[in-house]
Structure 1
Amino acid sequence: MSIRPTVRYFDRTTAPHLTTLVLLAGVAAMSLNVFLPSLPSMAAYFGVDYAVMQLSLSLYLATTALLQLFVGPISDRFGRRPVMLAAAIIFTLACAGSLLAPNYSIFLACRLVQAVVASGFVLSRAAVRDMVPQDQAASMIGYVQMGMAMVPMIAPVIGGLLDSAFGWQASFMMMMLSGAAMCVVVYFDMGETTTSRATSMTAQFRQYPDLLTSQRFWGYCLAAGFASGAFFAYLGGAPYIGTTFFKMDAATLGLYFGAPALGYMAGNFFSGRYAVRYGVNRMVIAGALTSTLGMAALALLELAGLSGPVLFFGLMIFVGLGNGLLSPSANAGMLSVRPKLAGSAAGLGGSFLIGVGAALSALAGFLLDPETGPMPLILLMLLTSLASYLCILWVIRRENQIKGA
């Protein structure tokens, strides 16, 4: 396997360019959070409670988790390119449906179909693992996610400004146009990267137990799941905190809301630069500890009555930094447990991550009310970050057992 595969831009006979992989993951990330500053105005538009409108996030995450169970094996069987192209087309049409929806039920149905764009998360990672070995994969995934991190940092800001200027529909128009651009780039640039394929889908699914019985695979999944779960809890609870407790309008909330992405981008840069030198496990430990210490500091400040919008959103940068350090290496680790099942591992692991995220996003919304203040969300994020640290210690212990056997 070549560590530096030949790549020619807009050449379907070579592996996809780095910017194409960034686009796949970036549009998927944008679809998750660009409209979040508009949730209060969308609830008013459709005449539903905020908690009901928030289902467009939590149910979207749950649908994403379910779809990823199938995207990985399907791409292992039929290839990364055709699966990604089909997902891009369906996503674009679903965005158009959201814009034309006459009521909340139809909007929500179209919103859930948009979850197919999460194929970009799965297939960008699987393509990287097809191309390079484990530590190089962690480095390359770090650079992919560093570029991708610009999207969730900027998207809520743009979404808030678009909402103030044109209404919530403008965010979905931007998603539709981005989906159309993704269709073009995937068609012309994304060459096939997988070379070994299962003979049937049945044979592909039969290999799942090899992953499900691996303690190392589950350790990496849980470490990444709890770390990203802290971030998804933030996605589910921060809009409510910003509007209810800090009295922010949509544009201001969008500006503050992107703070964790600053840390995420920095963490991805450090992952790309140092993952090969220090190895995936050390990078995961560094990320988990960073998130935990950041949330512990915020909890202490909140108890002391010193928390406010600047400190609350500012210290969320540590959650982004921790995820940026941890995520590329945890993903590379779970994809390398069974390298021939990279697509399946990416799908199964991604499904688990999003499933944990959906649960914690919904839990964050449930825990918060006008009387609680931000503390329930802060404690939830602290506990999940600490759980991530314990899980990577489990992986290291298991690896030492295997080496000692």
Structure 2
Amino acid sequence: MQTPRFLDRTTPPHIVTLVLIAGLSALNMNIFLPALPAMARGFDTSYATIQLTLSGYLTGTAILQLLLGPLSDRFGRRPVLIASLAIFLVATVVCILAPSIQLFLAGRFVQTTLIAGLVLSRAIVRDMVPMEEAASMIGYVTMGMTIVPMVGPVLGGLLVDVFPWQSTFVLVFAFGLAVLAVVWLDLKETNRNRPESFAAQFHAYPALLGSGRFWAYTLTTTFASGVFFSFLGGAPFVGTVLLDMTPTALGLWFFPIAFGYMVGNYVSGRHARHLGIGTMMLSGGLIALAGTLIAAAFFLSGHASPLTFFGPMVLIGVGNGVALPSANAGIVSVRPELAGSASGLGGALTIGGGAALSALSGAVLSVETGIYPLLAIMAASSLLGILACLFVLSPGGRGAARQ
């Protein structure tokens, strides 16, 4: 592969560009969260309604991934990404200027085109390098992107303390404009194997859905991510109701988990190439399972505290960081000529499954049941992810893991 040079479109895309386009998606997801109460007051609506800015956004991204992947396989990564960023910028202006909650939610829904950055960054990596190297490179991209969820809510909170809630979207617009400029100057087209028709891309979905390898990789990402989504669905209840924590203290405990995810991605970037993606996926699943079991052991022995709950959860972050880059690399390698379609379909299934597990975790917890239903769901999700990745290590899956 030709050595990438930043802002030089005659060379392959630089890893900084891939981090930026993926990171912008993460920033748009969470920077406004501290502003939700102010937004509810500003639009004179309920907090439940304003929360649609998150749940509706997740639903939109799951659906849109099914379309963006095939579009990029047919027309190329570069034009689809540039068009998606341009639409996102227009939608962000709508959010900033919206006079009603209905128009704001419409703008927020259209902002989902930004998911192209996350979907296509994986497909672009697979266009450039073989699968094992793709797992390593995706690990480094995700490691850089992980910084955003760590600082996004803090940055949003600082803005809302000083300026109106719209300031969070103004900042996202400015970042989006900068990322569009970087993409325009740096992103060389990487998709050189385009089908003759757009319809052919959707015809590929049955082939992907009928592939045991595709399902093994996708279920690994779904259940590995599901452990974390389950944690997100139940942690606020555990922290505030069962452990009597303040919201500030609860928020601070998420930092070590995000840091653990970054560490896992670094490990993936360093070792996926020579250990193989099957080994990385299995190792990540076992690490995440260990975190859940350690927390359960503490609570069963009567040592219930924020440290004994959130401390072991750092291993969830590490495990996901180790497993997910390899699983995502596997998804886009089942049919390399359809990497965009596979990334979109796999991402949609992963987000949908993770969201369902998150809702389940929030629904089963109560003061009477305590923490144990949450830990049971997380452990079950870890085990299912491990079973899925064992297929990759089986005789029938090893060939897939070496492609």
Deviations 1:130-166 (A, max 9, x none): 0000111111111111111111122233233334444
Kindly state the Cα deviation for residue 10 of structure 1 after the two structures are TM-superposed. 1.1
Percent identity at matched positions? Answer: 51
Match of 1:361 among 358, 361, 383: 358
Q: Distance in 2 between matches of 1:318 and 1:401?
A: 27
Matched residue type, 2:274: R
Residue in 2 that maps onto 1:290: 287
Match of 1:190 among 187, 192, 200: 187
Structure 1: segments with no counterpart, 5+ residues: none
Q: Distance in 2 between matches of 1:96 and 1:321?
A: 37
Matched residue type, 2:69: G
Kindly state the Cα deviation for residue 168 of structure 1 after the two structures are TM-superposed. 4.1
Match of 1:172 among 166, 169, 172: 169
Residues 234 and 85 of structure 1, relative CA distance in 2, 3 Å threshold: farther
Match of 1:60 among 52, 57, 65: 57
Kindly state the Cα deviation for residue 270 of structure 1 after the two structures are TM-superposed. 0.5
Q: Distance in 1 between matches of 2:286 and 2:149?
A: 23
SS at match of 1:10: coil
Match of 1:78 among 75, 78, 81: 75
Normalised TM-score (structure 1):
0.90
Structure 2: segments with no counterpart, 5+ residues: none
Q: Distance in 1 between matches of 2:181 and 2:60?
A: 25
Q: Distance in 2 between matches of 1:302 and 1:88?
A: 46
Residues 269 and 334 of structure 1, relative CA distance in 2, 3 Å threshold: same
Residues 120 and 270 of structure 1, relative CA distance in 2, 3 Å threshold: same
Match status 1:314 vs 2:311: yes
Normalised TM-score (structure 2):
0.90
Q: Distance in 1 between matches of 2:321 and 2:311?
A: 16
Query: RMSD of the alignment, in Å?
Result: 2.5
Kindly state the Cα deviation for residue 364 of structure 1 after the two structures are TM-superposed. 3.5
Q: Distance in 2 between matches of 1:183 and 1:366?
A: 40
Residues 101 and 211 of structure 1, relative CA distance in 2, 3 Å threshold: same
Q: Distance in 2 between matches of 1:262 and 1:299?
A: 22
Residue in 2 that maps onto 1:19: 16
Kindly state the Cα deviation for residue 243 of structure 1 after the two structures are TM-superposed. 5.2
Q: Distance in 1 between matches of 2:90 and 2:286?
A: 41
Residues 47 and 303 of structure 1, relative CA distance in 2, 3 Å threshold: farther
* Equivalent pair of 2:391/2:397 in contact (CA under 8 Å): no
Residues 184 and 371 of structure 1, relative CA distance in 2, 3 Å threshold: farther
Residues 373 and 248 of structure 1, relative CA distance in 2, 3 Å threshold: farther
Residues 113 and 144 of structure 1, relative CA distance in 2, 3 Å threshold: same
Residues 325 and 159 of structure 1, relative CA distance in 2, 3 Å threshold: same
* Equivalent pair of 1:153/1:259 in contact (CA under 8 Å): no
Matched residue type, 2:363: F
Residues 182 and 239 of structure 1, relative CA distance in 2, 3 Å threshold: farther
Residue in 1 that maps onto 2:147: 150
Residue in 1 that maps onto 2:329: 332
Equivalent residue runs for 1:209-228 within 5 Å: 209-228=206-225
Q: Distance in 2 between matches of 1:160 and 1:233?
A: 25
* Equivalent pair of 1:21/1:124 in contact (CA under 8 Å): yes
Q: Distance in 1 between matches of 2:313 and 2:301?
A: 18
* Equivalent pair of 1:129/1:137 in contact (CA under 8 Å): yes
Kindly state the Cα deviation for residue 252 of structure 1 after the two structures are TM-superposed. 4.6
Match of 1:267 among 241, 264, 269: 264
Residues 20 and 333 of structure 1, relative CA distance in 2, 3 Å threshold: same
Q: Distance in 1 between matches of 2:257 and 2:159?
A: 21
* Equivalent pair of 1:262/1:320 in contact (CA under 8 Å): yes
Q: Distance in 2 between matches of 1:162 and 1:316?
A: 29
* Equivalent pair of 2:213/2:397 in contact (CA under 8 Å): no
* Equivalent pair of 1:295/1:315 in contact (CA under 8 Å): yes
Deviations 1:82-109 (A, max 9, x none): 1111111222222232233334333322
Q: Distance in 1 between matches of 2:371 and 2:170?
A: 32
Match of 2:112 among 102, 107, 115: 115
Q: Distance in 2 between matches of 1:288 and 1:62?
A: 26
